[in-house]
Amino acid sequence: MTREDAFGNKSIKVPFFSPYISKQDKIAVNKALNSTLLTDGPKLQEFENKFSAFTKSKYGIGVSNATSALHLSLKSLGIGKGDEVIVPDMTFVATANSVLLSGATPVLVDIDDDMNLSVESIERSLTKKTRAIIPVHFAGKVCNIKKMKKIAVSKGLALIEDCAHAIGAKLENQHVGTFGDTGCFSFYPTKNITTLEGGMIITNSQKIAEYVKALRNHGITKSLLQRYSKGTPWDYDIVEPGYNYRLDEIRAALGISQLTQIKKLNMLRRRAFEYYNQELGNEKGILVPKLSKHEEHACHLYIIKIQKEYGISRDQLFKKLLSLGIRTSVHYKPLHEFTILKKRGRIIDSIKNAENTYHEIISLPMYPSITTKEQDYVIEGIKNH
């Protein structure tokens, strides 16, 4: 039985992703729509408080998306023109774009076998201009964050965690995003929880939190609620130019509702993840992702590596699965291949692992509502190549 996917393809049997929106979510959104205050209001504050409690951080600041979260984090730490910021060569372009938007230079660094930022490559890429490291907890797997934090502390560098894939991911019961100066989350429709578009910054620094709250709202020193509930609405200050990076009440209400379901959603993802591992783990020429006892994997993406022993290439497998009505993808094209980063990025150390990995990886369908029957159809397509 086929169905139409999000892109209008009517012959799809297993989509790559399927956003999880429950009846509870729809009720929460409709209720928020009845409010007369539709932005910068109490629902946003509630979402921020609940998200910071969930991650056990002191402050949560809701923003328009994870890119703005990264950009504001860089700005709050004083990073700009003339500075260098280390980012993994294999990540979504938003990680590097935020650095470019700050005026700094992204230094593209190699990855390790888990597709996370390589500690050894970080050390070889440090210069006198290095001001920050942005590790990405890739696919929901916690990176080697403790060693990265040790480097950052010893060198006096800022540490900004890109947690776009990693809501619910923990290392030794500590949630990602709380190891660095800030943690930046995404609520895009493919993520473990969604607000359609949206993001969150978490931090334990009051100074960073206050600065980011002002900057997300044009640099205005008071929130809309503060201005209309105390004194005269126009009585505020602007200390520097800011941005329109707000998160509205509708999306905040959806975020609150989704957050109450995060443990269930991540459990469903993990179940699907483990089933793929069980069925594909012994397949010749395929490397499956690892799960560690010391960490809680968010299971955002399920990525396998196709090696020569498999018999056909990654691209051939992609085409074959698509012909069967199975949507897959690749995460990601390395940053150094994009024109803008060829011009404005830097590479100091070798990026061979990123280059080689790119040609091997393929992301399989992964979402909370995926059924065993759908997974079996994907697995059969992979095994019968």
Instruction: Please identify every residue annotated as catalytic.
Output: 191
Judging by beta carbons within 10 Å of its beta carbon (0-12, 13-18, 19+), is residue 50 exposed, middle or buried? middle
Judging by beta carbons within 10 Å of its beta carbon (0-12, 13-18, 19+), is residue 205 exposed, middle or buried? middle
Partners of 162 in beta bridges = 136, 184
Pairwise CA distance, residues 250 & 172, whole Å: 34
Nearest to 60 by CA among 238, 171, 198, 165: 198
Pairwise CA distance, residues 164 & 384, whole Å: 34
Inter-residue contact 126 to 109 (CB < 8 Å):
no
Distance of CA 198 to the CA centre of its chain: 11
Residues 6+ apart with CB under 8 A from 51: 60, 62, 185, 200, 202, 255, 259
